[in-house]
């Protein structure tokens, strides 16, 4: 693995850690009140499009990194939607 691929992998890990910290925050506060649902939807679509592009390029490092982001962001997005609808239901 080249240095650039290794650095790219570390960058993907750092991005995933950021998403994991957000998951922990949403889970701990049990609230997605301060999140933009539209923003999350746009980001989720962009992650999937980029993943498809990396698969087409057949770059293993990029595919693995983006797939990891897709998985962690899906968890984050799911929690945000769950708490969003729970908040709406309580009103």
Instruction: List all residues 6 or more positions away from 37 whose beta carbon is below 8 Å from its beta carbon.
Output: 80, 81, 84
Domain ranges of the chain: 3-27+34-90
Amino acid 2: pLDDT: 87
Q: Output the CA angle 13-14-20, nearest 5 degrees.
A: 85
Assign domain 3-27+34-90 to its CATH architecture.
Up-down Bundle (1.20)
Put simply, whether the predicted model's pTM sits higher than 0.75 gets the answer: yes
Contact 74, 41 (CB under 8 A): no
Express as a percent the part of the chain with pLDDT over 90: 58
Contact 54, 63 (CB under 8 A): yes
pLDDT, one tens digit per residue, over 9-35 is: 889 999 999 999 999 998 898 888 888
């Amino acid at each position: 693995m080249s240095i650039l691929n290794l650095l790219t992998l570390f960058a993907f890990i750092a991005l995933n850690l950021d998403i994991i910290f957000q998951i922990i925050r949403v889970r701990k506060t049990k609230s997605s009140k301060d999140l933009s649902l539209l923003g999350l939807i746009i980001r989720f679509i962009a992650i999937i499009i980029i993943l498809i592009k990396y698969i087409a390029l057949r770059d293993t490092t990029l595919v693995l990194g983006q797939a990891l982001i897709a998985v962690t962001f899906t968890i984050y997005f799911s929690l945000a939607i769950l708490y969003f609808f729970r908040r709406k239901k309580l009103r």
